[in-house]
Amino acid sequence: MRELGESDLDDLAVGAAILGTGGGGNPYVGRLLAREMIRAHGPVAVVDPGEVPDDALAAMSAMMGAPTVMVEKIPSGSELLRAFELLQETLGRGITHVVPAEIGGLNSMTPLVVAARTGLPLVDADGMGRAFPEVQMVTPTIDGVAATPMALADDKGNAALIETVDNLWTERLARALTVEMGATALLAAFPMSGAQLKSSLIAGTLTLAQELGELVRTARGRHESPVGSVVRRLAGVELFRGKVADVQRRTVAGFARGEARIDGTGGSAGATLALRFQNEHLYAERDGEVVCTAPDLIIVLDAETGEPITTEDLRYGFRVVVIGAPCDARWRTPAGLELVGPRYFGYDVDYVPVEERAARAAA
Amino acid sequence: MRELGESDLDDLAVGAAILGTGGGGNPYVGRLLAREMIRAHGPVAVVDPGEVPDDALAAMSAMMGAPTVMVEKIPSGSELLRAFELLQETLGRGITHVVPAEIGGLNSMTPLVVAARTGLPLVDADGMGRAFPEVQMVTPTIDGVAATPMALADDKGNAALIETVDNLWTERLARALTVEMGATALLAAFPMSGAQLKSSLIAGTLTLAQELGELVRTARGRHESPVGSVVRRLAGVELFRGKVADVQRRTVAGFARGEARIDGTGGSAGATLALRFQNEHLYAERDGEVVCTAPDLIIVLDAETGEPITTEDLRYGFRVVVIGAPCDARWRTPAGLELVGPRYFGYDVDYVPVEERAARAAA
């Protein structure tokens, strides 16, 4: 067990936004909220999955909706707590551990808020190892862990509890409620035992996020670019460098969808990168050739500072580096690819691991 | 207390469809389901509101959604029971009485199904005295009775429980879930005490529906038209006679919306009636002059048999009589008209009681 305090939040927010591949909500909004909670309630205990007893009762806490809207509607801790408490009442047992659903800008912070408010330990793990746009897209789904009962709460005082036949139906009903609740909702879901948690979650991702944030911070302190060390830490590849030439985005059915075009500079001069996103960056094509797709991570960093840029912050004129990094091995299985492979998102290409694509291009 | 058995269902279904003003779902579907349940579980005890103890716990049972779709998806008793049991679990107390939300084709039968399956008494009353398209449109809303907790269940095995800040929000969230669940859902809601029930519901409407059904049946037995006796029983007015010349309908956001044009015959020859509906008939205009609007009842009967015709059954060539009848007095108050007056439904006219409009036209 270790403690996560106010001074850790900056690194965590930056690293989580890197792993968030452009989505998961705004890291600054989440950090503000988490700081407020830690100031009020003290630091949060973080435990490794291996430290969680098999008979523990853990649940995920997250914000659902279009990140574009999340920026405008800062959630209050009490909405998150309402969803969490509603789930707990339904289960009829005290929840013992809080689990992040995803590592992304805002959603690495929402479970921290709940942990701070409730005094429960936060598990150093998540269900994606990155951020994804839909509820069922977590490794526990691969193992047959049900998303429901799921509790949702909005900023007006409305709440809902759903119980579905599978996790795709959870996504459908939760999304319909979220859209109606004003495009964002706070949720508590995926109740699971300690034993399930150990076998189904991706371990160590909070620590990884903090390390990535630290790499960016220390490189900046030395007036160096952190891009190289981020690439190395993630065993990734630098895909492209350039200047954002165009961004199109729209909020559709509770998602921020869009596309960005980046004109190459430096080693990428003369080439163009097309980036497509649905909350997160999901597909990158260089001059018509696919260079990286979900579930691998497509990470957009500011070329100078190494700070991650979310899909909603991406603007014309930004100078960026685009990195591809391997996802967790479970996403590369047939069951994983069925949930989060390129075809699920509507891209008619086979999944090829980003490092293989890079090796082919280099050959 | 009286018993409602299989032999009562035909009259009840016909009369409820008359009061249902074209909506509330298909009466034949509901009757089939209710008959099956009564055959399996025996007759249902019907009690007057005055017989319900003040500390009783009653709840409404209904089907939500576009009636056009309800016809295609016959609900099973177990879906209704699932919603009812989920509500009961949430309340943490046994529900003692079942209450109809509305008197309409299908929705006069759904509470009967629950009463038959659970053995609970059914209260001879409802929240509308007719059918209306939205959840909040019940007299208990006028008195501040909350629609939530509300439980919903679908035919696939999904369920939801919602808790909202007001009954308009209940409508919004329940509608979003219903649309996602395939345009229909079974629900249990408006938990209320016996005391609330007595002051907030419209009493005697099941009995009224049975009486109307009996009028139609006995007139038919005497080869007479039942139209005159239906008009008298409801203290209504005959608005129009004619032949359906055109029907336009579409299913929008879980509602069946549309418009019918009726060319006059007999005393109405040369005139045209325009009927507008959203699940129920809500607005009637004769040659451009308003003759009846919600919340008063606009009832369309087959000119020969006197059988009520639902909005989804209305077809080109049907010969019909259109009746206007006064709604319950509570709907004519400012609070009632705010909920179900013509302006709520988008018709830019003041509400004038149907009998006043008729007197003016006759003068």
| Domains of chain A, start order | 2-203 (3.40.1610.10), 225-362 (2.40.390.10)
pLDDT for the residue A359: 92
Query: Does the pLDDT value for residue A295 go beyond 70?
Result: yes
Please judge whether A160 and B158 are an interchain contact, meaning their C-beta atoms are less than 8 angstroms apart. Answer: no
**Region A210-229 average pLDDT:** 93
pLDDT for the residue A157: 93
Alpha-carbon distance of B143 to B335, in angstroms, equals: 9
Alpha-carbon distance of A355 to B6, in angstroms, equals: 71
**With an 8 Å Cβ cutoff, is B165 touching chain A?**
yes
pTM over 0.95: no
Q: Tell me the residues of chain B between 176 and 215 that have a Cβ less than 8 Å away from chain A.
A: 176-177, 179-181
C-beta separation of B172 from A172 below 8 A: no
C-beta separation of A227 from A267 below 8 A: no
Which residues have CB under 8 Å from B53's CB, separation 6+? B96, B194
Q: Which residue has the tokens 């409602």?
A: B4
| Tens of each residue's pLDDT in chain B, 363 residues | 899 999 999 999 999 999 999 887 677 777 888 888 899 999 999 999 999 999 999 999 998 876 554 555 555 667 788 999 999 999 999 999 999 999 987 888 889 989 999 999 999 999 999 999 899 999 999 999 999 999 999 989 999 999 999 999 999 999 999 999 987 888 999 999 999 999 999 999 999 999 999 999 999 889 888 999 999 999 999 999 999 999 998 877 667 789 999 999 998 999 999 999 988 999 999 999 999 999 999 999 999 888 899 888 899 999 999 999 999 999 999 999 999 999 999 999 999 999 999 998 888
Among the partner residues B158, B169, B172, nearest to A169 by beta-carbon distance: B158
C-beta separation of B294 from B340 below 8 A: yes
Burial class of residue B159, CB neighbours in 10 A (0-12, 13-18, 19+): buried
**Region A357-361 average pLDDT:** 91
Type of residue at A259: E
Among the partner residues B158, B173, B175, nearest to A160 by beta-carbon distance: B173
CA distances from A62 to A98, A106, A138, A190, B247 (A): 10, 8, 12, 11, 47
Please judge whether A181 and B173 are an interchain contact, meaning their C-beta atoms are less than 8 angstroms apart. Answer: yes
**With an 8 Å Cβ cutoff, is A83 touching chain B?**
no
Contacts of B162 in chain A (CB under 8 A): 158-161
**Least confidently predicted of A191-200, A226-235, B20-29:** B20-29
C-beta separation of A185 from A36 below 8 A: no
Torsions phi, psi of A93, nearest 5?
-145, 150
Please judge whether B177 and A172 are an interchain contact, meaning their C-beta atoms are less than 8 angstroms apart. Answer: no
Q: How far is A287 from chain B (nearest CA, A)?
A: 39
Read off the DSSP letter of residue B363. -
pLDDT for the residue B28: 76
CA distances from B210 to A74, B4, B75, B225, B297 (A): 54, 10, 23, 18, 17
Query: Over the stretch A325-347, which tens digit does the pLDDT of each residue have?
Result: 999 999 999 999 999 999 999 99
Q: Tell me the residues of chain B between 127 and 156 that have a Cβ less than 8 Å away from chain A.
A: 156
